[in-house]
Amino acid sequence: MFFVRFFALFLFFAVFGIASSVPSVAAVQKRQDRITDIEGVFNTLKSSTDTILPQITSAGQSGNASAATVTPLINELTAAFNTASSSLASLRTSNRKARRQSEPEISLLVAGIVTDVTQSLDTLLADLSIVPEIAPLLAGVDVALNATLAGLEILLAGVLTLVSVLLVNVSGLLESLSFGLTLASLVSISLQYDSTFSSKLLGLQSLFKLSFNSKRSDILGRQKDHSNFIARSMEAVI
C-alpha cells in the first residue's frame, strides 16, 4: 500500500513537472501567428515599395526629377511606411516581448526593403540643388522608416540586431540621405545587445560608427574588404 501511494505521488509530480516546463501548444501557436502577421505586414509593404521605387529610380536616373514628379512618389513611400507602422502597432496585444532574439526570414525581408529604398532614393541626391523640396521629403521617409523599425523591435526583441548586420553595406547611403534617425536606431540596437553578442558584434559596431564620420565614398570603398568578415559574422549570429 505504501509503495502504491508513493508511486502515485511520484508519478503525479513527475508529470506535473514535465507539463509545467514545456511551453504550451497555445503559446507556441500564438507566437507563430504573430510572426506570420508580421511577415504579412512587411510583404504588403514590399508590394508597395516594389511599385513606387522603380518610378523614383527612373526619375532620378533620367536627370529630369522635379518637385511635381518626385513629391507624390516620396509621399506614397512615406505613407506605405506609416501604414506598416500602424499595422505593427495593432499587433501589440501584450507588453511582453518575444524571447527569441532573431527571426532570420523577417530580418532578410526588412533589410531587403531598406536596401531597395536607400538605393532608389540615392538616385535623387544629385538633384537636391535643383529640387530643394526633396530634402524635407527624405526627412519624412526617415521618420516613417524609423517608426516601422521601432515597431518591429517591440514585437520581436532583438530582430534589428540581425537587420543591422545585413545593412552594414548601405550604412553609407543612409548617411548620404541624412537618415539620422534610422541609422542611430540601428547603431543603438547593435550596442544594446553587445553584452549578448559581444565578440560577434564588436567589429560590426566599429563599421557602424564609421558611417557618422566618413564620407560615402570612403565607406563604399571598405565594403569589398569587409564582405568576407560580414558573411562570417552573419553565420555566427544566426
Determine the pLDDT at residue 193: 59
Determine the pLDDT at residue 158: 84
- Asked if residue 3 belongs to a domain, the reply is no
* Grid cell at residue 42: 512587411
Are the C-beta atoms of residues 167 and 119 closer than 8 Å to each other?
A: no
Determine the pLDDT at residue 235: 53
**What pTM was estimated for this model as a whole?**
0.68
Determine the pLDDT at residue 104: 86
pLDDT tens over the chain, length 238 residues: 544 454 444 444 444 444 444 445 444 445 556 688 999 999 999 999 999 999 999 999 998 889 999 999 999 999 999 999 999 999 985 444 444 444 788 999 999 999 999 999 999 998 888 899 999 999 999 999 999 999 999 998 888 988 998 998 898 999 999 999 999 988 887 676 544 443 334 444 444 444 444 434 443 444 444 445 444 544 544 5
- Asked if residue 16 belongs to a domain, the reply is no
Determine the pLDDT at residue 35: 80
- Asked if residue 21 belongs to a domain, the reply is no
Instruction: Tell me the H-state helices in the chain.
Output: 2-21, 25-62, 67-90, 104-122, 134-155, 159-166, 171-176, 180-192, 198-213, 216-237
- Asked if residue 20 belongs to a domain, the reply is no
- Is the torsion defined by CA of 196, 32, 146, 235 positive or negative? positive
- Asked if residue 6 belongs to a domain, the reply is no
Determine the pLDDT at residue 199: 38
Are the C-beta atoms of residues 143 and 89 closer than 8 Å to each other?
A: no
Determine the pLDDT at residue 81: 98
- Asked if residue 17 belongs to a domain, the reply is no
- For residue 134, the enclosing domain spans 29-237
- The residue with cell 511582453 is 96
Q: How many domains does the chain have?
A: 1
Q: What does 111-175 look like in DSSP terms, one character per residue?
A: HHHHHHHHHHHHTTGGGTTT-TTHHHHHHHHHHHHHHHHHHHHHHSTTHHHHHHHHTGGGHHHHH
- Asked if residue 23 belongs to a domain, the reply is no
| Residue among 186, 169, 152 nearest 227 (CA) | 169
- Asked if residue 47 belongs to a domain, the reply is yes
